[in-house]
Amino acid sequence: MPELPEVQTTVNGLQEKVLGRTFVDVWSDHKKVVKKPTPSAGGFDLFKKLLKNKKIIRVWRRAKNVVFELSGGYSLLIHMKMTGHLLCGAWSMKHGTWVAKNAGPLDEKINGYLHIIFFLNNSQMIALSDVRKFAKIELVLTKDLLAEFEGLGPEPLEKSFTFKNFEELFVVKKGKVKEVIMRPQFIAGVGNIYASEALWWAKIHPAKDVSHLSLAELKALYVAIKKVLQLGINFGGDSFSDYRNVNGEKGKFEGSKRVYQRKGEKCFKCKTLIKALKIGQRNSFYCPKCQNL
């Protein structure tokens, strides 16, 4: 978490709130969150200096990365990792703690683990709440960032990502299908939740080797991946854990999940009890009848 739908939901919210705004200052109590510039190159101090007066030209997503394309040929990358989420609002420091100026979702405890705050030229702020401090931030030249992205797999929701493209990814591939489709170098943005959901819709056991997938199964999986990712975006992501949108609100995908975290509950298709198994050290949820190995 967050996965493609959560990151896209964040990007959609940022596009509405911060496009055209300019960074005027940055605060942090965890400066290690900034990975580039590196400490040897000037670290947080250089980051702060370079970011100041940069205008936000575009906000977009690549895989699970939020990208602010800035003036001056720079881009700000934020990867929220396991427990991070970006918020937009206004906060004031009280007794050493940042407190939201307006009552509402931003007051929720999970939105209060603020470790970096970006100040904009309209008195608004962008904050990163991250209880486990795993998030990553980089400020780099845009051309270097694009080169960094070359190793990522295709975007599954792009119109240009056809079934032929999808089928070609599996040529001479081996490995358990759930592990394979979660690799960012294979397909961008598919994580544990949406991989489990897509495999249920496609009626494919998560441990099945990709070399044994039939053409019909590949087609079903292609459709299912697109389906669940778009559904996730439509519902504003999944908030069973820490994720919140830029307003601090929960996503509503929870009620649309068919197998993820439903171990011991009845399958929506056949009423068989959902099971779980470990694949690649991650819990995988499936219906043993609908997704027979």
Q: What's the whole-number mean pLDDT along residues 178-198?
A: 97
Q: What is the pLDDT of residue 173?
A: 85
pLDDT at 82: 93
As a whole number of Å, the end-to-end CA separation of the chain is 27
Give the CA distances from residue 26 to residues 40, 79, 239, in Å, rounded to whole numbers and listed in that order: 20, 17, 28
Mapping DSSP to helix (H, G, I), strand (E, B) and coil, where does residue 256 land?
helix
pTM above 0.85, yes or no: yes
- Please pick, among 48, 64, 178, 258, the residue that the annotation labels catalytic: 64
Domain borders along the chain are: 4-151, 163-286
Read off the pLDDT of residues 14-41 as tens digits, 9 standing for 90 and up. 999 999 999 999 999 999 999 999 999 9
Q: Which CATH class is domain 4-151?
A: alpha beta
Quick: pLDDT tens for 249-290: 999 999 999 999 999 999 999 999 999 999 988 999 999 999
* Torsion of the alpha carbons at 105, 107, 113 and 119, rounded to the nearest 10: 80
| Distance of alpha carbon 260 from alpha carbon 210, whole angstroms | 21
pLDDT tens digits, 224-244? 999 999 999 999 999 988 999
Task: Respond yes or no: is residue 2 known to be catalytic.
Answer: yes
Q: Are 54 and 26 in contact (CB under 8 A)?
A: no
The residue type of 95 is: H
Evaluate whether 4-151 and 163-286 have a shared fold.
Answer: no
Average pLDDT over residues 173-178: 94
The CA distance from 197 to 175, in Å, is: 19
**Annotated catalytic residue, options 21, 31, 35, 282:** 282
Residue 172 has pLDDT above 80, yes or no: no
- Is 80 exceeded by the pLDDT of residue 137? yes
3, 138, 179, 197: which one is catalytic? 3
Beta bridge partners of 85: 129
- Is 282 designated active site? yes
Pick the CATH number of 163-286 from 1.10.8.50, 3.40.50.720, 1.20.1090.10, 2.60.40.10: 1.10.8.50
Q: Which residues contact 96 (CB under 8 A, 6 or more apart)?
A: none
CA 244 to chain centre: 11
pLDDT more than 70, % of the chain = 100
| DSSP helix/strand/coil, 78 | strand
What gap in Å lies between CA 199 and CA 69, rounded to an integer?
Answer: 35
How far is 170 from 214, CA to CA, in rounded Å? 11
Q: What is the pLDDT of residue 1?
A: 74
pLDDT tens digit sequence for 189-228: 999 999 999 999 999 999 999 999 999 999 999 999 999 9
Give the pLDDT confidence of 69-82 residue by residue, as tens digits: 999 999 999 999 99
At residue 87, the pLDDT reads 98
